[in-house]
Amino acid sequence: MESNITRTPNIGPAIICMLKTIIYVLFLLPYDLWVQSVNRLAALENTKGYEVGERKSHWPLLSYQYHLTFEYCFDIITILVPVYLLVAFIVLLFNKTNFGIIILTLYGVYMSSVAIQLIRDFIQLVFIAPIRKFVSWLNKPAQYLDIKMDQDLKVKK
């Protein structure tokens, strides 16, 4: 019986795949996250989703606060990354800083969109997800809740 797996390594395609992934993560991922933030804010503007009057939930103020924080503020901070880049460049240029430090600082500011999105996702995972799970559990009809009745009903004669 022959195996489909060969014993000779395919180093060339593996290195090319690795280099493409590194280039994407280091240079293109921050831009892609920035574009997603721009598109989310544009969609939010088109639907007027940042207004309290548009909320149709049981808790309109909490829903508004959630969307303001996680759909509006984090995206605004991410969209302002080009402004941060410009300000950092001007400040570093006028301080006559070393060229290597200027490049590293600008790259760090460029990567800040990744850090902002990681913080946003971490907060949603750790703090918001349990609250959403609890609210969805509260909204279940009674027949779907896991309630056990251990008492027997006895009729007196």
Over residues 2-53, the pLDDT tens digits come to 556 667 788 889 999 999 999 999 899 999 999 999 998 888 877 766 666 6
Lowest model confidence (mean pLDDT) among 35-44, 51-60, 93-102, 128-137: 51-60
Specify burial of residue 55 (Cβ count, 10 A radius: 0-12, 13-18, 19+). Answer: middle
Q: Does residue 95 surpass a pLDDT of 80?
A: yes
The number of distinct structural domains making up the chain is 1
80 assigned to some structural domain: yes
- Local structure of 101: helix, strand or coil: helix
Mean pLDDT of 69-79: 87
- Cβ–Cβ < 8 Å for 80, 58: no
Residue 70 within a domain: yes
Distance, in Å, from the CA atom of 45 to the CA atom of 40, rounded to the nearest integer, reads 9
Residues 141-157, mean pLDDT to the nearest whole number? 59
Residue 65 lies in a domain: yes
Residue 127 lies in a domain: yes
- CA 69 to mean position of chain CA atoms: 12
Mean pLDDT of the chain: 81
Amino acid occupying residue 77: I
Q: Return the residue matching tokens 């493409």.
A: 20
Q: Range of 47's domain?
A: 17-136
pLDDT of residue 2: 55
What's the burial of 117, exposed, middle or buried (CB within 10 Å: 0-12/13-18/19+)?
Answer: buried
- Residue 101 belongs to a domain: yes
Sign of CA dihedral 69, 75, 78, 80: negative
Of residues 148 and 87, more confidently modeled: 87
How much is the pLDDT for 46? 77
| pTM listed for this prediction | 0.68
Contacts of 97 (CB under 8 A, 6+ apart): 105
Q: What percent of the chain has pLDDT over 90?
A: 22
At 109, list the tokens.
């500011």
